[in-house]
């Protein structure tokens, strides 16, 4: 029996209201998501941050899921621990896997300062020391008084970190490498800025044996406590790759081989992504950042972009079984650090390209589906996305034939699967003027009437006796055709 296509949703965006209602929304929307074929959700960091308004990436306490009065709040931005568990339970009841965003690179909002020695390094080349050793007062002591040892008695101090960026005694900022026996930057990290171990806050030292043991324990605890089905690993290019390999192995020993991992390795260079996958023996998936940037550039260039090349030098093109494809996410949305927003006119084309093809694990962005909040609001595109999601869930199966033979008008056909009645579809996209393509959908379909389920083209077409249809598309749009009876 053929398995249905899998689809993920990133269930958050950067500017959600700080109303503690997000886990309740997850519980409420679970049946609607599953109805449209979304069978996994990537949820935001559930751990206590430096403030209630923090999105979770300024992680303070990994054992506080909205349970303890810390940093002036019991709940996180997204809700309480009980509400989180109810949201996850609702997902599981509807056959939706939950992948938790885990932040393992740094800690923020320390409870006390400590005095220790550092050397300042050049921010553009962290191998270059630009000072003699000196003492600073840094925020590196974490004893979590509000939790009082519940879940874990481990306390952090400066020995567990290898870098920080602020001297409390002087107010000076910089990139400071913490000194001590065997202390150095981790070598198994991205080589941007010479060495990209340090990103922000108090940087966790994965050469320290106590740190490795603690983070292994925490990873197992978190998955057991929340019953999540996998992890999205944040800022993975800044974390010791050898530790990541061990972490993945240990989590799967503890929680089963199906425990899922996807890493955020934000690098548009394909070779860098490939090398990282190789270093982990392809044990995890990566977000297809190169393809995202192809979509971004294509949306900016319009008809000057050669659509027939859009999958070249993408992760899904070279590693289809390790690529999580996406159009946009919380980092690429407008006014954020990695802003590279795909223009609205191109969004339907891009989503068709990740949802209706056989390769890759597509991830739909909450900001595109529900909308973006905050000062610069952007309405959601549910009415556009639902037909594409439904087409993926019900139609996009079977052998794929590509018609990427024109720079402005491309298409492909999924021939369908006998195990999924009425499946099969033809997709055609244009970044220029009105276009058409004669594409083969099967001789057995001769005489069938096919229609565009997106509604962009109103005229139906008849499949000829050879099994071909002349499929039409309007300028700067996408159309998805299927047998008329299959769309009802």
Residue 234 bears catalytic tag: yes
Compute CA 97 distance to the chain's CA centroid, rounded to the nearest angstrom. 15
CB atoms within 10 A of CB 438: 12
Choosing from 264, 285, 368, 452, the catalytic residue is: 264
From first CA to last CA, the distance across the chain in angstroms is 24
Count of CB atoms within 10 A of residue 64's CB? 25
Tell whether residue 434 is among the known ligand binding residues: no
Which residue in the list 167, 234, 368, 448 is annotated as catalytic? Answer: 234
278 is in an annotated binding site: no
DSSP assignment of 303-331: GGS-GGGTTTT-HHHH-TTSEEEES--TT
105 is in an annotated binding site: yes
Alpha carbon of residue 218 to chain centroid: 22
Nearest residue to 26 (alpha-carbon basis) of 43, 47, 49, 14: 43
Report the C-alpha gap between 75 and 115 in whole angstroms: 32
167 is catalytic: no
CA distance 393 to 74: 39
At a CB cut-off of 8 Å and minimum separation 6, what does 409 contact?
A: 307, 428, 429, 430, 432, 435, 436, 437, 473
Query: What are the φ/ψ torsions at residue 37 (nearest 5 degrees)?
Result: 90, 5
Alpha-carbon distance 286 to 327, whole Å? 14
Answer for the pair 367, 13: CB distance below 8 angstroms, yes or no: yes
Q: Which tokens belong to 284?
A: 């995890």
CA distance 232 to 10: 10
143 is in an annotated binding site: no
Residue 117 contacts residue 135 (beta carbons within 8 Å)? yes
Residue 326 backbone phi and psi in degrees, to 5: -150, 160
Q: Supply the residues annotated as catalytic.
A: 234, 264
Give binding residues as ranges: 105, 197, 205, 238
Give binding residues for Ca(2+) as ranges: 105, 197, 205, 238
């Amino acid at each position: 029996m053929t398995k249905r296509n899998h689809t993920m949703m990133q269930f958050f965006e950067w500017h959600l209201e700080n109303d503690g209602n997000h886990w309740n929304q997850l519980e409420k929307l679970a049946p609607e998501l599953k109805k449209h074929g979304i069978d996994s959700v990537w949820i935001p960091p559930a751990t206590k941050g430096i403030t209630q308004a923090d999105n979770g990436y300024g992680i303070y306490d990994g054992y506080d899921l909205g349970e303890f009065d810390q940093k002036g709040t019991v709940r996180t931005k997204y809700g309480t621990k009980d509400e989180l568990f109810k949201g996850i339970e609702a997902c599981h009841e509807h056959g939706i896997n939950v992948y938790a965003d885990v932040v393992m690179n740094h800690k923020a909002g320390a409870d006390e300062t400590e005095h220790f020695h550092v050397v300042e390094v050049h921010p553009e080349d962290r191998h270059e020391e630009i000072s003699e050793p000196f003492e600073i007062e840094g925020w590196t002591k974490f004893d979590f008084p509000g939790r009082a040892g519940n879940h874990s008695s481990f306390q952090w101090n400066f020995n567990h970190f290898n870098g920080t960026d602020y001297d409390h005694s002087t107010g000076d900022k910089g990139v400071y490498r913490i000194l001590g026996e065997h202390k150095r930057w981790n070598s198994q990290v991205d080589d941007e800025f010479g060495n990209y171990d340090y990103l922000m806050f108090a940087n966790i030292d994965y050469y320290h044996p106590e740190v490795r043991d603690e983070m292994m324990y925490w990873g197992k605890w978190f998955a057991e406590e929340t019953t999540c089905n996998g992890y999205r690993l944040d800022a993975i290019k800044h974390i010791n790759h050898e530790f990541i390999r061990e972490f993945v192995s240990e989590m799967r020993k503890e929680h089963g081989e199906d425990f899922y991992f996807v890493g955020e390795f934000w690098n548009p260079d394909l070779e860098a992504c490939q090398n990282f996958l190789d270093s982990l023996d392809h044990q995890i998936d990566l977000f297809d950042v190169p393809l995202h940037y192809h979509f971004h550039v294509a949306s900016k260039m319009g008809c000057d972009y050669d659509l027939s090349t859009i999958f070249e030098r993408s992760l899904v093109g070279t590693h289809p079984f390790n690529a999580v494809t996406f159009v946009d996410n919380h980092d690429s949305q407008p006014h954020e650090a990695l802003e590279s927003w795909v223009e609205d006119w191109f969004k339907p084309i891009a989503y068709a390209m990740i949802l209706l093809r056989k390769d890759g694990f597509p991830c739909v962005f909450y900001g595109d589906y529900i909308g973006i909040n905050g000062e610069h609001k952007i309405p959601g595109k549910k009415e556009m996305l639902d037909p594409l999601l439904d087409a993926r869930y019900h139609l996009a199966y079977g052998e794929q034939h590509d018609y990427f033979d024109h720079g402005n008008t491309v298409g492909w056909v999924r021939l369908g699967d006998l195990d999924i009645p009425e499946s099969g579809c033809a997709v055609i996209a244009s970044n220029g003027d009105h276009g058409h393509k004669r594409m083969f959908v099967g001789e057995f379909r001769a005489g069938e009437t096919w229609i565009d389920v997106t509604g962009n083209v109103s005229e139906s077409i008849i499949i000829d006796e050879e099994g071909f249809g002349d499929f039409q598309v309007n300028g700067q749009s996408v159309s998805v055709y299927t047998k008329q009876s299959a769309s009802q």
